[in-house]
Amino acid sequence: DAGVTQSPTHLIKTRGQQVTLRCSPKSGHDTVSWYQQALGQGPQFIFQYYEEEERQRGNFPDRFSGHQFPNYSSELNVNALLLGDSALYLCASSLGDRGTLSGANVLTFGAGSRLTVL
């Protein structure tokens, strides 16, 4: 059973460019969350997708956008890249919470996409 798959694993961009990161969730999961993790810090919540809609969003500018496809896979797009966008971008999938502590709300993370902006 494949876990969460992210691509690419590493990429280098220059300031002002745009980037698209991709995520395939764990089999059976229907919810995808994206996190940004700068070096030495904890993951910062960007947004979460469920039923192809952005359900919740963290404190990130509109330059960060996303999409969820009918097969539950997801993309994270970042426009007008800044040096400060250099980070590890993590995708996490889960089975949307159903109001019970049954393990359905456990996040499974991918290995991340390391973005370097020069």
Partner 1 sequence: LAKTTQPVSMDSYEGQEVNITCSHNNIATNDYITWYQQFPSQGPRFIIQGYKTKVTNEVASLFIPADRKSSTLSLPRVSLSDTAVYYCLVGRLFSGGYNKLIFGAGTRLAVHP
Contacts with partner 1, residue ranges (CB under 8 A): 4, 30-31, 33, 35, 41-45, 48, 50-51, 55-56, 88, 90, 92, 94, 96-101, 103, 105-112, 114
**Would you tell me how many other CB atoms lie within 10 Å of the CB of residue 33?**
25
Q: Which residue lies nearer to partner 1 by CB, 78 or 93?
A: 93
Distance of closest approach, residue 80 Cβ to partner 1, in angstroms: 26
Q: Which residue lies nearer to partner 1 by CB, 61 or 96?
A: 96
**Dist CA 40 CA 63 (whole Å):** 23
Distance of closest approach, residue 101 Cβ to partner 1, in angstroms: 5
SS3 (DSSP) at 31 = strand
Q: Which residue lies nearer to partner 1 by CB, 84 or 99?
A: 99
Question: What is the identity of the amino acid at 81?
Answer: L
Residues in the chain, overall count: 118
Distance of closest approach, residue 64 Cβ to partner 1, in angstroms: 16
Distance of closest approach, residue 16 Cβ to partner 1, in angstroms: 27
SS3 (DSSP) at 85 = helix
Dihedral of the CA atoms 62, 68, 69, 74 (nearest 10)?
Answer: 100
- Greatest alpha-carbon span in the chain: 45
Q: Which residue lies nearer to partner 1 by CB, 9 or 14?
A: 9
